[in-house]
């Protein structure tokens, strides 16, 4: 059954569909820390999108304050959508490299305004071609934004004028701007004349009074402009039916997202009693890192998938291999077309006792394996968990150092939002290993399922408080006695000494196959 997308999944989808680009080419990251959208070149495009924040019962977004009412939020999500479409269109058509040579001898503030002028003209055309209705709504938002900055008498005079050019320019300049815009379209359409755009650039550079004096809040901002901290009153606007539907969807998904997050964080706070974590967080995400990592590890993922499918926890089913084989075909096809869901694995669920997995990844500085390998390993384990359990509510994933990060709660789906969090894993800090294990066992204690596993990826060097080593040994013993199957995976010898089920390997390949063997033997022991 296909669940509704989460807020972030919905926005990713909208962005990548509009830009006709993939997460591998263009990165979209969300942030509550930035005020305005930004485009960075690292060297690929990385687009940062701000998120609404609550401030004294109102929302603050892109330098504007919106009342937390139907009207207020409508204006806010309208602005949010304008950003997403505007930035996606840049990702689709902007050619920033064309200006590199030209910009070298120019002043930064001016050349960015010139580049933005030209690229925005092209962006407007792109949106108008692919989503004329969106274009109209953005145009409507533009008038509201521009008028909200004009003195009252100008406002009255211009209130019914649709064309923003009239608000900006006098008659003579209006004609000139029109001419330049036509020139830009002509130049950019003929793909062969990339250098030609420079003639428009020069024209604008010389007539810089034509350049926009203010940057609209939903557009990308460059370094200094991002620091502006003026909070204006939010805009009111009348979206068309189609745009209103999008706005309502965002509003609804955001509400669900915020309350689900709050609920998840609350439920873990309950389990944190007596533990030493500094904080518990749900990390932001980086979908691009995840997608890249995944495509770099395709052979590994294929192998782990094949090996894992041999693992079964019902002994005497003569047709197991055959069923496994048939499903494998489906699985490979479905994975190749990226449309796979739980349905392929339904038959496996019948064979398998209900399982609950908690996966813990030690992201502390003590882990000897290079951190990018830990991240790749986490990806492999997450992909396997998702396939092997066949149900997204069967597994959860956390990373820990002196903080605990929830990468995937049992209740969350293994979709782009969770995947992005894996792509965003970072390491450092102390290793509160016993605390992480204890938390995992508390989470599982409340779980009604038959078979419970904790997978811990660590080097087994706890650090952070006095007697942590003793505490660690105690916790391991308690968990192993409780019937929860604890499987440890790491690169150091300590791992084999300290856990009953353990796997040690020196590289990713070895670790992955050891992980499978450990899982296989632990699951057959449990019969």
Closest CA to 88 of 36, 23, 31: 23
Closest CA to 275 of 458, 459, 433: 433
**Terminal-to-terminal C-alpha distance of the chain:** 31
211 or 335: CB nearest Zn ion: 211
Distance of CA 527 to the CA centre of its chain: 39
Rounded distance, CA 250 to CA 256, Å? 10
Burial (0-12, 13-18, 19+ Cβ within 10 Å), 517: middle
Q: Who's near 303: CB < 8 A, 6+ residues apart? A: 512, 513
219 or 468: CB nearest Zn ion: 219
Under the rule (CB under 5 A), what is the footprint of Zn ion? 120, 219
120 or 424: CB nearest Zn ion: 120
Q: From the CB of 166, what's the least distance to Zn ion, in Å?
A: 21
120 or 417: CB nearest Zn ion: 120
Q: From the CB of 184, what's the least distance to Zn ion, in Å?
A: 13
**Order of all β-strands in the sheet with 355-362:** 279-281, 403-408, 395-400, 355-362, 451-457, 485-490, 501-504
Q: From the CB of 41, what's the least distance to Zn ion, in Å?
A: 14
Q: Who's near 106: CB < 8 A, 6+ residues apart? A: 205
Q: From the CB of 123, what's the least distance to Zn ion, in Å?
A: 6
Q: From the CB of 116, what's the least distance to Zn ion, in Å?
A: 5
219 or 518: CB nearest Zn ion: 219
Find out whether 403 and 435 touch, Cβ atoms under 8 Å. Answer: no
Burial (0-12, 13-18, 19+ Cβ within 10 Å), 513: middle
Q: Who's near 166: CB < 8 A, 6+ residues apart? A: 158, 174
Q: Return phi, psi of residue 111, to 5°.
A: -65, -30
219 or 475: CB nearest Zn ion: 219
Q: From the CB of 261, what's the least distance to Zn ion, in Å?
A: 31
Peptide bond connecting 191 to the previous residue in cis, omega within 30 degrees of 0: no
Q: From the CB of 176, what's the least distance to Zn ion, in Å?
A: 21
Q: Return phi, psi of residue 514, to 5°.
A: -65, -35
219 or 253: CB nearest Zn ion: 219
Q: From the CB of 219, what's the least distance to Zn ion, in Å?
A: 4
Q: From the CB of 90, what's the least distance to Zn ion, in Å?
A: 6
Measured over the CA atoms of residue 187, residue 189, residue 194 and residue 198, the dihedral's sign is: positive
225 or 447: CB nearest Zn ion: 225
219 or 456: CB nearest Zn ion: 219
Q: Who's near 122: CB < 8 A, 6+ residues apart? A: 93, 94, 184, 185, 188
113 or 375: CB nearest Zn ion: 113
The tokens describing 18, both together, are 């509009």
11 or 219: CB nearest Zn ion: 219
109 or 343: CB nearest Zn ion: 109
Q: From the CB of 146, what's the least distance to Zn ion, in Å?
A: 15
Q: From the CB of 120, what's the least distance to Zn ion, in Å?
A: 4
Q: From the CB of 209, what's the least distance to Zn ion, in Å?
A: 20
**Order of all β-strands in the sheet with 27-31:** 27-31, 45-50, 38-41
Q: Who's near 352: CB < 8 A, 6+ residues apart? A: 312, 313, 314
The tokens describing 332, both together, are 């490979």
């Amino acid at each position: 059954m296909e669940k509704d997308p989460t807020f972030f999944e919905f926005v990713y989808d909208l962005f990548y569909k509009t830009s006709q680009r993939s997460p591998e080419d263009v990165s979209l990251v969300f942030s509550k820390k930035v005020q305005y959208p930004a485009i960075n070149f690292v060297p690929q495009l990385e687009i940062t999108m701000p998120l609404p924040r609550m401030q004294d019962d109102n929302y603050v977004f892109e330098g504007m304050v919106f009342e937390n009412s139907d009207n207020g939020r409508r204006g806010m999500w309208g602005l949010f959508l304008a950003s997403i479409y505007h930035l996606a269109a840049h990702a689709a058509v902007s050619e920033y490299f064309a200006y590199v040579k030209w910009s070298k001898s120019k002043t930064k503030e001016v050349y960015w305004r010139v580049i933005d002028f030209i690229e925005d003209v092209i962006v407007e055309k792109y949106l108008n071609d692919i989503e004329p209705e969106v274009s109209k709504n953005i145009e409507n938002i533009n008038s509201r934004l521009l008028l909200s900055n004009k003195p009252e008498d100008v406002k009255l005079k211009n209130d019914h004028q649709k064309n923003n050019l009239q608000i900006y320019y006098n008659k003579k300049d209006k004609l000139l701007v029109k001419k330049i815009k036509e020139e830009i379209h002509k130049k950019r359409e003929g793909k062969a004349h990339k250098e030609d755009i420079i003639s428009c650039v020069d024209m604008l550079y010389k007539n810089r009074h034509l350049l926009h004096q203010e940057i609209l809040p939903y557009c990308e901002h460059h370094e200094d402009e991002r620091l502006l901290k003026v909070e204006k009153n939010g805009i009111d606007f009348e979206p068309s039916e189609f745009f209103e539907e999008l706005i309502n969807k965002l509003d609804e998904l955001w509400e669900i997202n915020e309350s689900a997050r709050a609920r998840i964080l609350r439920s873990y706070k309950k389990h944190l009693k007596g533990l030493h974590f500094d904080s518990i967080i749900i990390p932001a995400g980086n979908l691009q890192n995840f997608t890249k990592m995944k495509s770099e590890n395709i052979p590994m993922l294929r192998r782990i998938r094949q090996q894992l499918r041999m693992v079964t926890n019902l002994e005497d089913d003569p047709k197991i291999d055959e069923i496994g084989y048939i499903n494998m075909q489906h699985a490979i096809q479905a994975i190749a077309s990226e449309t796979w869901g739980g349905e392929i694995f339904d038959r496996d669920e019948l064979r398998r006792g209900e399982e609950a997995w908690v996966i813990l990844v030690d992201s502390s500085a003590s882990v000897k394996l290079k951190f990018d390998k830990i991240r790749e390993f986490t990806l492999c384990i997450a992909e396997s968990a998702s396939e092997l359990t066949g149900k997204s509510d069967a597994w959860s994933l956390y990373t820990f150092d002196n903080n605990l990060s929830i990468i995937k709660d049992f209740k969350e789906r293994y979709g782009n939002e969770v995947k992005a969090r894996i792509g965003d894993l970072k390491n450092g800090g102390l290793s509160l290993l016993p605390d992480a294990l204890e938390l995992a066992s508390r989470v599982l204690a409340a779980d009604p399922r038959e078979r419970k596993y904790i997978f811990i990826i660590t080097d087994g060097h706890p650090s952070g408080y006095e007697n942590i080593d003793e505490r660690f040994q105690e916790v391991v013993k308690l968990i192993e006695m409780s019937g929860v199957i604890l499987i440890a995976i790491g690169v150091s010898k300590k791992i084999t000494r300290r856990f009953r089920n353990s796997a040690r390997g020196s590289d990713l390949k070895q670790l992955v196959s050891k992980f499978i063997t450990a899982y296989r033997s632990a699951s057959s022991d449990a019969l």
